[in-house]
Every structure is written in structure tokens, then in C-alpha cells.
Chains A and B, each alone.
Chain A
Amino acid sequence: MTSSSTSAASRRAVSGPVRGRRSSGGLLQAWLPRLVLAPSVAVSLFFVYGFMIWTFVLSLTSSRMLPSYDFVGFGQYARLMANERWWVAASNLAVFGGLFVAICLVLGAVLAILLDQRIRQEGALRTLYLYPMALSFIVTGVVWKWLLNPGLGIQAMVRGWGFDDFAFDWLVRSDMAVYTLVIAAVWQASGFVMALFLAGLRGIDDAILKAAQLDGASLPRIYWRVIMPCLRPVVFSAVMILSHIAIKSFDLVVALTGGGPGYASDLPATFMYAHAFTRAQIGLGSASAMLMLGGVLAILVPYLFSELRSRRHD
């Protein structure tokens, strides 16, 4: 509610001498927002959608080293479906993506709640949990490759302390290599999720908390029943950012496991790269890229749907 003096002040601050500006400027003003957005829209249409369409076109060709327009229908998709490595990569993405998002959410939420308890060193701890996000995935992959290497890293160290039977050789086991990706990725991104949750916690209206406290609810109950539901938008944002990281995960795989042992820890992004570039199979790589984008759409569309729906409720 603005008092008359405030509105007068704002008037003066913004528009200078009060005078009707509804002449020719009016039409321009109406179109200005669209003009401002136009370049970005154009850029988006060309560089994002245009390139996606181009990729789709390429997935229908027999392009090898460089693009060619020799069309073969859906042959590349057929080859993709018959490719065992693709299925390994796709299922790895489900495992990796699912675990990565879930663990980051839980860990981030827990850390945020703990940090929110008026800790003395909150600033320092927060920076500590957040800094891994500053590192590139290549650096993360290289360091964790060391740490998880049975002969050089944690296993060797613990054995050096006398625990001869200690085993932590996931990195070299075909069935466990994917989980090493989860470890490194969670280390990198959970701090960011924590920051999101912390911000969300700080933004909760205390009237709600006070009401709950007056009702005599216990601490865990307050968190579970009152605070977590308020954080639903935060969870959504976190899930969006995390899934985007998961789908794009390329540098981490290359640096940490190289897709191995064999191709046991391959992901669609590295599959696409290996085939499109290293193996000069742009057609097949494009087909895998389209499927990858399809997966992205599958996550994005429901989110947008709920986003737009909640907007209307505001």
C-alpha cells in the first residue's frame, strides 16, 4: 500500500515532469517488449530448434565423417536399437540420473536443515559445501579417479592403515563403475542443492512456523509436515538443474572412468560423442542425440506444464 507521498515521490523519480506520454510513443512502448525479446527468440529458434531439426535430418542420413545428405529413412534408429552399447548407456543414465538426483536432494536438504540451525561457522561451512561446483567436471573426474583407484587411492590408503581386507574397487568392476560416477557427481553438485534448500528455508514465512509451534508439534514433525511442503518449488528447481547436469554428463565420464571397464559406465552423451566423432558415424550419433533429447523432453514438458499451471494460480 503506497501512501500518496510515496507515489508522488516515485512519480517524480521515474517520469520527471508529469506530462502525458501517450502519443506516438505509445505504440512503440506496446511493441518494445516484443522487440526486446525478439533477438533472443530468433537466436533460440535458430541455434536451438534449428540445430535440433538439423540433427534430426542428419539422423535420417548415412553421414559418416562429415554430414552428407544421403537419406536412409530410419535405418540409423534401427541400428541404434540393435546396438548393445546404447542400451547399456541408456540404462546407465537411468541408474546414474535417478541416484544422482535422489541423493543430491536428500543430502542437500539434510545439510541445509543442519546448517540452518544457527551454526557458528555457517558461512565457512556453506562455502565448503558449495566450492566443488566451481570445479570443472574434468578436474572432479581426475581427482576422483585417483581417490577411487584401488591401487593408488582410498583402498590403498585404508589397507595401509592395516585393514588388509578393505575393498573399495568399484572403479574397476564392470557392475559397480556406474556408482563411482554417482559419487563424484553428488560430491560436485550437492552443495549447490544445499544452497537452494537453504535459500528456500530462509524464505519460509515464520507465521506458519509459529503456528505449528503453538500447536505443540515436535521438531521433526514440523520439518516433515510443514517445512518440506513449502519447499516444493525448490525441489522442482533442483530437480530441473540436476537432471540437466545428469543428461549432459560427458566430461565426468571421460575423466573418471573413460566409459569403462569396457563400456560398462558409458552414458548417452559419451555414446553420442564417440560415435559421431571418434567413429565417424554422424548418422548414428545424431539418432542417439535425438533419443537423448527425447528423454529431456520427457522431463521438461511435465515441469513446464506444472510451472505454467502454478502461474495461473498465483
Chain B
Amino acid sequence: MRSFFRNLERDAVRYLLISGQASILYGAATFSEDVDLWIEPTADNIGRFTAALHRSKAVVHKLTPPLTVRHFRRGHGFHFRVPASASEWYLDVMGKPPRVGGFSAAARRAARFDTAWGAVPVVAIQDLVELKKTRRLGDYEVISRLACIRLKTVPKASRPLLTWALHNVFRAEDAQWVFDTWPAARALPVVRERSWLRTLSVEPLVREIAMLQKQDIRYWSPIIDELRAMRRNERLIPEGTRL
């Protein structure tokens, strides 16, 4: 693992750690079985990333299109297995993750964490929250925790930050913690917009999450269709290929 991240540094790959491992570093999750990276989708950077994969002896896992700028910018995912001394691990890569805008702005907002893998650039909490609005129900608990963690780590919770946090709490206990800690937050317009916050009732919360899940499914639908077409036309990289 450490040598893989060293190879990214050595090849000057512009990347951000996202998703599960990022949530663990911030404290909002306790487990993730893979590593997800956001790679800057430029030809030069993809070339450097491919060199780092080669140096790390990574092989293509499943459903991976050719590593072209077009495929990265279209939002496709690229999946690899990376050998390690204990057992291989899974690496999932994107060039344009949903809901978070461009790489350069996200890189400017990113944090840097000291880890056993080295100093790793990690996507900012506010970007991670948007990335996590997926079809997986468990992600909404993580989002809710991230919102509270961001509130805990600032010296003073401003009105915009409280509004943002209340837009992103998905657990009644987190919403109540916000109201108990900052009673004035009950008067923010977001409490009118998200009806479940007024009563902390489950039904409207479930409807809201279901709507976000549907939006994520709609986002992925054309990308998955394109991936299926590539599979039919045998244009995916064969599983096990070393780059």
C-alpha cells in the first residue's frame, strides 16, 4: 500500500483520496474494503498514473474501459487489483466523480493527512458529502456524521455552516445534537425546507433519501449504458491485464 502511494508521489500524479478511506480519515466511517481515487483527467496525468500502476504491478479488475481522457471525463470508473505482501487490494478510480465539479477546485479545497501510506491529499469534507449521496443507504449515515464532524472542527459555527450541516444531517440524533448545541439553528430557513427536521420524524426523511438515491441512479444510467455497449463490442480492457 505504502509503495503504491510512493509511486503516485514519484510519478507526480495529481490525485485525491475519496469515498471510504477518506471517510475513515475524517472519522465518519470505520471500515472500507477498497481504495478510491479521483485522478485529474488530463492526458499527462493519466499517463503518469498509468506509469504508477505499472510500477505497482497493478492489473485490471472488472468492467474497465481503456484509460483515455474521454472515458475519464465522461465519468467512468476504472478498477484495479494491486498486489501487496498480505493480500491484494482493490483500487477504484474516477476522473469525474458526480456532484462535485472539477478536479482543480477540489484539489485547492483538499486536506492533507499524515498516514502510514505517507502524506495523502484527501478530498474536503463538503465534497465528500456530495460524493456520498449515492444509491447506498449506509452512505447517508456517513454523510450525517461528516456534517457533524465539520461542525465540531471549526472554532465558530457560522450561519452558512450551520445551514450546510442541517442540509446534510440524515440522522435524528445528529439533527438534535445541532439543535441542542446551537438552539438558534431551529430558526434557519433550512428547517422549513427539510420538513423532517421540524419533528425529527422518519417518513419524510426516508422520502428525501429515496429521492437522492433516484438522482444517483439517474446520473449513472447513461454511463452504465455506455459501459454495457463497450462490453458488447469487446472494447473493455480484459481482466488481469497489466498496464
A, B co-complexed = no
* Residues of chain B whose beta carbon lies under 8 Å from any beta carbon of chain A: none
